[in-house]
Chains A and B, each alone.
Chain A
């Protein structure tokens, strides 16, 4: 019986026929690639590819008519970005987006937290009914929501102005006014979105042990004090998480103006996403993608800052 050296054994293992692998690892690797491959193909084609493609496009003068003859496209460096930043309407859109985020995110989170506390501590008996009811707008098509809200906000026979009329107040033409169109869309967005943050807050609240509150009660803290000094600090990770996700979503503010106002009146509700979409419609593909990338950079920076805050806990 010959002595097999370690290096010989390795050589044998290496030359083992592929159909009969000896090591478990290689079987595992083969299985992994079979499972991963379909996703990777779809992901490259429909996500990673378009991301790189749009980055490329943003540095060219590509227009709609160039689609059939892609070799007539010229590189233009950063001029699309410069053009976007100097565009009066783009600046207005950036202001509108900031207005929407700065007002919309806190309002959404406050309503969501209030609803979650109500569900967790208040309405024990019909909790499921309330939960489903509050979550309803989240699962509803924006198009259906638009149909409803156009009636709610209609100047003469709308729900809001009718109710205001009971108190002798003559409501404005909500969507037709440069002052009121944006607050109307913010109200609509809060109504539509608070349910998702509410569910996450609810999970966070249910993760806080009962004993924490009982300890506070023994120390004589009132319910507001218990909430402010015991519950809220423990909820901090959840608060920051919902801030990040709601913030990312609201920075891409698009559907509400798209279906309600088309950005009007006088661009008072045009958001960055909306304006980029309009430029796409005009066939200015290079400009449209550069605007989308400016937005992406802002989102990345804001998200990064929020994650830093999250980590500092």
Chain B
């Protein structure tokens, strides 16, 4: 058909507009400092070099930041999967006093700007002696209202008959949750897991305030400090650093994008 031609062209132009800055960054990370400052700028690297990446992993302490980011993101993701599925199941499937009040309370906090809790949270964590520590980086994010909402919605869609069958067989209430119902929520767990991992990996403000010495920096913090400190003029190093931050999340996102987009579509939430 003639008509589909220009529709694909529009789509492609849109894709270029969205992706051009990324390509620019990836190509830039292989350029020398001299070439990056050239006017007019080049698109393809004149003399491609991996010097920026070598510097990043030898001079800068990026392996450490990488490890910190991974550790924090994995712990936060595990916490969300465990605790949000637990309360999500209780809110959806178990009858207990205060259930509705608890759900309304959790939903209300979805609307509160992060800035509202930021100061007292900082005071709390600092006074608890957790500043500049992994628990200080991890604990405030172990549960999220979004996770509770997602898991509750998913459990609501599962039939009650399965629970009754378990009860007849003499399975304990917690056994019904852990062995019968939880395995059925794998798609929701995948969505929550990926989104939480991405969110934690990219989290910036809290680690910036809590991580005070270099050995506790996460990747975004390190990159931000590099882009404003004395290394701010070393553009090649910056771009290589940005690539190192982006590539892991891209790989994870591409591998699981089906779950993510489906999960977002199901719950209708960002």
Chain A interface (Cβ < 8 Å from any Cβ of B): 24-25, 27-36, 38-40, 42-43, 45-51, 53-54, 57, 67, 115, 118-119, 122-123, 126, 128-137, 139-152, 156-159, 162, 165, 191, 196-197, 199-200, 202-203, 206, 238, 241, 245, 248-249, 251-252, 254-255, 258-259, 273, 276-277, 280, 285, 288-289, 291-293, 295-296, 299-300, 303
Contact = CB atoms under 8 A, between A and B. Distances in A.
11 contacts: A32-B95, A32-B96, A36-B96, A46-B139, A51-B116, A51-B120, A130-B14, A141-B220, A158-B41, A245-B269, A277-B115
Contacts of A43: 106, 143
Contact of A255 (B96, B204, B254, B261): B204
Contacts of B111: 248, 299-300, 303
Contact of B7 (A118, A142, A157, A241): A118
Given A144-B242, A285-B119, A157 B41 contact: yes
A300 B109 CA distance: 11
A133 to B, nearest CB: 5
A273 B11 contact: no
Contacts of A27: 173
B118 A32 contact: no
Contact of B119 (A35, A152, A288): A288
B87 interface: yes
Which residue among A31, A119, A191, A255 has the maximum number of chain B CB atoms within 10 Å of its CB?
A31
Contacts of A157: 37-41
A2 to B, nearest CB: 32
A53 B26 CA distance: 44
A35 B41 CA distance: 58
Contacts of A146: 224, 227
Contacts of A165: 40
B156 interface: no
Interface string B96-125: 110100100110010111111111111110
Contact of B86 (A38, A51, A123, A206): A38
A29 B97 contact: yes
Given A35-B177, A54-B119, A144-B25, 16 more contacts: A46-B121, A47-B117, A50-B120, A51-B109, A51-B116, A57-B119, A122-B4, A133-B19, A139-B249, A142-B204, A144-B223, A149-B21, A157-B37, A165-B40, A238-B268, A292-B113
B253 interface: yes
A42 B187 CA distance: 25
Contact of B14 (A134, A149, A280): A134
Nearest to A151: B24
Contacts of B99: 32
Contacts of A118: 7, 10-11, 14
Interface residues of B, number: 92
A140 B39 contact: no
B177 A148 contact: no
Contact of B21 (A152, A206, A241, A293): A152
B192 interface: no
Sort A-B residue pairs by CB-CB distance and give the 9 closest, nearest first. A31-B173, A53-B120, A203-B265, A32-B96, A50-B117, A122-B7, A144-B242, A141-B202, A50-B120
A276 B115 contact: yes
A295 B177 contact: no
B167 interface: yes
A130 B142 contact: no
A137 B121 CA distance: 29
A57 B119 CA distance: 9
B162 interface: no
Contact of A292 (B14, B83, B115): B115
Contact of B40 (A143, A162, A277): A162
A159 B86 contact: no
A31 B174 contact: yes
B245 A280 contact: no
Interface string B230-270: 00000100110111011001100110010001001100111
Nearest to B105: A48
B11 A147 contact: no
Nearest to A24: B167
Interface string B205-242: 10000000000000110011001000000010011011
Contact of A159 (B14, B21, B239): B21
B94 interface: yes
B20 interface: yes
Given A46-B121, A57-B120, A144-B223, A123 B8 contact: yes
Contacts of B97: 29
B30 interface: no
A39 B87 contact: yes
Contacts of B38: 157
Contact of B118 (A136, A259, A280): A280
B50 interface: no
